[in-house]
């Protein structure tokens, strides 16, 4: 039975607006649950609910499918039921400024502590300045200084007196003190000294020698006296400071008495203020435009924090760097980090440039997304995470260690050498959800053993849903939901039906609907634009169609040029007549968002040989492995079908004509086989037909991808040249369910001007292409005379004989 072309109704499964059961999408409720994602939703519920370590989630699926929105919806629901996590601050570590301390406070108290410390600093400055300006303090200080001065003065005056009594002067020099003989209360001149008797000169020298020892002993005592003085000053300062500071800090200690870490920090602050009181004094004086007190003993500890060494910022050491403020957070936080660079994940230590050097302190610690999401959920795009250097490793380290350690890659790998910090790590409790394409998930699973340990929950999103009646209704609600989410005009029922058909085409299947929300949302936006242009309040079918057409038009340039080349005869494609060994194949080109079918001439030549079918594409490395596999199957088919008991003595070559780029896929293997059979049987093929479909060793034609695009591609070419009524496409029968063709094609088919043949076997296809029966082996083991297969077999037998004769030097036998 010759194959009959498909009826028009088989070319597209239409959606009947009348059966949708609503007038416009305004009549429909929003979807409560994601459509067609039962598996993903189940995994999400499990992954979000389970608290065990390592049960982080990877939401995988194609882009624009609504992964992010779905994950967010479920996470928000769960987060609202959870307690608000604590605030986190970094404060100065007075014992080691390079290792700032992390403080944890109940949510909302971090900001209060920060404010309290700012106020404390102000109060301390005032209180300390007041006590140090008091007459009591001045008197005590001056008394200590005076005591030192007197001790020093008395020692030298006594020495001077003893020296003068022995006619020796004690004189200040630029670097010390000098002893010299005197005369008339003045230093003796060298001439007078030389005039002295020898004994007197020796006497002076001996006296000066003795006095010199005394002088040295006195000078050696000065540092000890000064140390005593400084200790006394320090004791007075400490006593006065404790008096001024104690009650202020005590008030804070009482306020935060439940928080042991904060109390310990306040104790450290009090100790540090007492030790470094001059820091406050210097700051106050600097602000008043005064010079620092002479010899102001800004402590070594104060100067150890480089930023603090700058006078205006000297009090930074007592600030609180609030890195996580959950005062306004309700429930657990949900953080989506759009730019998951390493520093944006684990935080960073910033530097400021000062006098040509890069300096930092705890106040320059910046939190990362992990800090903000701590106690809640962190959503990350897997592709972005992997494309940022060190980010994925940093995330894994944090999850494995259960703590956030702020580390700079530059420091880790010694790329820069600047003063930096090692902030105390903060404990981490977070549920991470990575979102990405399936390829990324499978690659990470295959190549990163740690991945499976850390992301144990696979949330696999489907990209399409079965197109049953219930789904149809749900799908209408999905459209209504998107319309409201994007604040678009409502769609009437025919428009919804058209979107459903468009969705089926996106799914590439008449019984499936695409649930790629992003793509559906885009077409709704575009339809809304056309509705607005037409001043309509509701989106109509024509608006949806206009949007689809406009989208095709925008991306159609390459397809047009390609078709133009065929019509002009630059690329040789025959659409009429018959040719031996020549056939129209169909390829799909995908460029950006546009996929279209393009005919390709395929030719085959045969001659005597050793049984090989030469794939010219493969010989020049333009054919991919799947294409080569398809061609090798042809040889196997020929051998098994026509030469089961004799050598296949042909050499055949198959080529995609005018193909200058790579060819991949096996969707043209049946087409190549038809060309080969034509060449062997010397039967011409109809050039008004194009063919797609792969073939197996038994001659069964198998499904291929892009059937719609291929048919439309050939149809467009035929229409451009003029539909003759003989033109059409051979497709695998198993692809019929995928057909969602354009209305133009369907109209032509309805009018009998274009035909689509569903093909199950090579025999069916060759009959359509040649108009000659394929033929089945009879009881005599031969194909009937006049059939395609008989002609092929005869030709192969002839080639075998010829080869044998050629090998033995005998004339070839006829068949």
Q: CA 642 from chain center: how many Å?
A: 56
Smallest separation (angstroms) from another protein to the CB of 103: 32
Q: Alpha-carbon torsion 468, 470, 476, 481, what sign?
A: negative
The answer to whether residue 177 forms part of the interface with another protein (CB under 8 A) is yes
CB closer to another protein, 234 vs 536 = 234
The answer to whether residue 171 forms part of the interface with another protein (CB under 8 A) is yes
Smallest separation (angstroms) from another protein to the CB of 190: 4
Angle at 587 between CA 583 and CA 591, to 5 degrees: 155
Produce one character per residue of 709-743: b if its CB has 16 or more CB atoms within 10 Å, e if not.
bbbbbbbbbbbeeebeeebbbbbbbbbbebbbbbe
CB closer to another protein, 134 vs 593 = 134
Q: How many CB atoms lie within 10 A of CB 346?
A: 25
Q: Applying CB under 8 A, which of residues 10, 64, 187, 268 lies at the interface with another protein?
A: 187
User: Which one of the spans 169-177, 520-528, 543-551, 580-588 is the region binding another protein (CB under 8 A)?
Assistant: 169-177
**DSSP letter at 702?**
E
Restricting to residues 592-621, name those near another protein by CB under 8 A.
none
CB closer to another protein, 187 vs 313 = 187
Instruction: From 44, 36, 37, select the one nearest 457 (Cα to Cα).
Output: 44
Instruction: From 260, 262, 330, select the one nearest 109 (Cα to Cα).
Output: 262
| Helix (H) or strand (E) segment spanning residue 709 | helix 707-721
CB closer to another protein, 158 vs 416 = 158
The answer to whether residue 231 forms part of the interface with another protein (CB under 8 A) is no
CB closer to another protein, 133 vs 338 = 133
Side-chain-side CA neighbours of 559 within 13 Å: the count stands at: 26
Bridge partner list, 466: 512
Alpha-carbon torsion, ordered 116, 117, 123, 124, to 10 deg: 150
The answer to whether residue 129 forms part of the interface with another protein (CB under 8 A) is yes
β-strands 490-491, 320-324 pairing: unpaired
Q: Applying CB under 8 A, which of residues 64, 222, 772, 812 lies at the interface with another protein?
A: 222
State the binding string over 702-731 for another protein (x if CB under 8 A, else -).
Answer: ------------------------------
Restricting to residues 405-444, name those near another protein by CB under 8 A.
none
Smallest separation (angstroms) from another protein to the CB of 132: 5
Distance CA 266, CA 758 (A): 84
Q: Applying CB under 8 A, which of residues 94, 132, 336, 461 lies at the interface with another protein?
A: 132
Produce one character per residue of 420-457: b if its CB has 16 or more CB atoms within 10 Å, e if not.
bbebbbbebebbbbbbbbeebbeebeeeeeebeebbbb
Angle at 218 between CA 214 and CA 223, to 5 degrees: 155
Distance CA 766, CA 787 (A): 10
Q: Applying CB under 8 A, which of residues 59, 60, 103, 215 lies at the interface with another protein?
A: 215
State the binding string over 267-306 for another protein (x if CB under 8 A, else -).
Answer: -----------x--x--xx-----xxxxxxx---------
Active site residues: 667, 710
Tell me the site size for another protein, rule CB under 8 A. Answer: 59
Smallest separation (angstroms) from another protein to the CB of 243: 15
Angle at 791 between CA 787 and CA 797, to 5 degrees: 140
The answer to whether residue 141 forms part of the interface with another protein (CB under 8 A) is yes
CB closer to another protein, 219 vs 640 = 219
Q: Applying CB under 8 A, which of residues 39, 53, 138, 195 lies at the interface with another protein?
A: 138
Bridge partner list, 91: 101, 320
User: Which one of the spans 218-226, 305-313, 451-459, 524-532 is the region binding another protein (CB under 8 A)?
Assistant: 218-226
State the residues that interact with another protein by CB under 8 A.
Answer: 129, 132-134, 137-138, 141-142, 145, 149, 152-153, 156-157, 169, 171-181, 186-190, 193, 201, 204-205, 208-209, 212, 215-216, 219-220, 222-223, 226, 229-230, 233, 278, 281, 284-285, 291-297
């Amino acid at each position: 039975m010759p194959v009959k072309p498909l009826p028009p109704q088989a070319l597209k499964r239409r959606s009947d607006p009348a059966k949708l059961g609503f007038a416009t999408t305004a009549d429909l409720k929003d979807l409560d649950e994601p459509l067609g994602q039962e598996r993903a939703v189940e995994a999400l519920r499990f992954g979000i609910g389970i608290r065990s370590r390592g049960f982080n989630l990877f939401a995988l699926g194609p882009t624009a499918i609504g992964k992010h929105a779905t994950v967010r919806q479920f996470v928000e629901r769960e987060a609202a039921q959870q307690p608000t996590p604590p605030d986190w601050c970094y404060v100065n570590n007075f014992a080691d400024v390079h290792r700032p301390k992390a403080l944890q406070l109940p949510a909302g108290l971090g900001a209060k502590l920060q404010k309290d410390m700012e106020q404390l600093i102000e109060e301390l400055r005032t209180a300390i300045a007041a006590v140090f300006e008091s007459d009591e303090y001045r008197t005590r200080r001056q008394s200590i200084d005076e005591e030192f001065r007197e001790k020093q003065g008395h020692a030298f005056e006594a020495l001077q007196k003893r020296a003068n009594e022995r006619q020796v002067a004690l004189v200040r020099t630029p670097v010390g003190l000098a002893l010299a003989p005197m005369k008339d209360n003045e230093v003796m001149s060298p001439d007078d000294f030389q005039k002295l008797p020898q004994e007197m000169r020796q006497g002076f020298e001996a006296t000066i020698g003795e006095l010199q020892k005394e002088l040295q002993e006195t000078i050696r005592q000065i540092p000890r006296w000064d140390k005593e003085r400084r200790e006394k000053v320090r004791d007075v300062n400490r006593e006065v400071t404790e008096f001024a500071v104690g009650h202020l800090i005590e008030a804070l200690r009482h306020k935060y008495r439940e928080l042991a870490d904060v109390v310990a920090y306040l104790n450290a602050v009090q100790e540090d203020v007492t030790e470094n009181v001059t820091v406050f004094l210097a700051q106050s004086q600097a602000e008043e435009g005064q010079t620092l007190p002479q010899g102001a003993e800004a402590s070594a500890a104060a100067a150890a924090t480089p930023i603090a060494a700058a006078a205006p910022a000297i009090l930074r050491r007592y600030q609180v760097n609030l890195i996580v403020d959950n005062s306004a957070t309700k429930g657990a936080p949900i953080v989506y980090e759009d730019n998951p660079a390493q520093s944006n994940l684990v935080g960073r230590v910033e530097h400021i440039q000062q006098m040509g050097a890069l300096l930092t302190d705890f106040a320059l610690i910046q939190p990362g997304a992990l800090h903000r999401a701590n106690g809640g959920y962190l959503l990350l795009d897997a592709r972005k995470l992997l494309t940022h250097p060190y980010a994925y490793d940093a995330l894994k380290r944090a999850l494995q260690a259960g703590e956030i350690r702020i580390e700079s890659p530059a420091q880790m790998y010694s790329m820069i050498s600047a003063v930096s910090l090692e902030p105390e790590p903060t404990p981490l409790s977070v549920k991470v959800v990575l979102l990405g394409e399936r390829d990324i998930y499978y690659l990470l699973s295959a190549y990163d053993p740690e991945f499976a340990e850390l992301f144990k929950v696979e949330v696999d999103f489907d990209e399409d849903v079965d197109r049953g009646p219930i789904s149809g209704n749900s799908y209408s609600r999905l459209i209504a939901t998107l319309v409201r989410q994007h604040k678009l005009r409502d769609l009437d029922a025919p428009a919804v039906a058209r979107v459903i058909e468009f969705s089926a085409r996106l799914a590439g299947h008449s019984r499936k609907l695409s649930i790629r929300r992003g793509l559906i949302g885009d077409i709704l936006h575009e339809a809304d634009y056309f509705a607005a242009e037409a001043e309509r309040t509701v989106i109509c079918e024509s608006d949806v169609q206009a949007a689809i057409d406009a989208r095709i038009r925008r991306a159609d340039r390459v397809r047009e040029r390609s078709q133009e080349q065929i019509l002009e005869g630059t690329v040789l494609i025959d659409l009429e007549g018959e040719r031996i060994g020549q056939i129209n194949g169909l390829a799909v080109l995908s460029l950006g968002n546009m996929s279209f079918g393009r005919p390709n001439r395929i030719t085959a030549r045969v001659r005597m040989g050793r049984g090989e079918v030469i794939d010219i594409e493969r010989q020049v490395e333009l054919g991919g492995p799947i294409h080569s596999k398809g061609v090798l199957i042809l040889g196997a088919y020929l051998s098994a079908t026509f030469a089961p008991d004799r050598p296949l003595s042909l050499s055949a070559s198959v080529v995609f004509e005018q193909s200058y780029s790579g060819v991949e896929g096996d969707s043209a293997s049946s087409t190549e086989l038809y060309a080969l059979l034509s060449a062997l049987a010397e039967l011409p093929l109809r050039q008004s037909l194009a063919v797609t479909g792969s073939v197996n060793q038994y001659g069964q034609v198998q499904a291929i991808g892009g059937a719609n695009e291929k048919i439309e591609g050939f149809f467009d070419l035929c229409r451009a040249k003029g539909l003759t009524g003989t033109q059409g496409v051979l497709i695998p029968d198993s692809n019929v369910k995928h057909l969602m063709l354009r209305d133009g094609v369907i109209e032509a088919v309805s009018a009998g001007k274009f035909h689509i043949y569903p093909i199950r076997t090579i025999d069916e296809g060759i009959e359509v292409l040649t108009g000659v029966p394929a033929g089945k082996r009879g009881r005599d083991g031969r194909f009937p005379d006049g059939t395609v297969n008989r002609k092929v077999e005869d030709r192969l037998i002839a080639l075998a004989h010829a080869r044998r004769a050629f090998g033995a030097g005998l004339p070839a036998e006829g068949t």
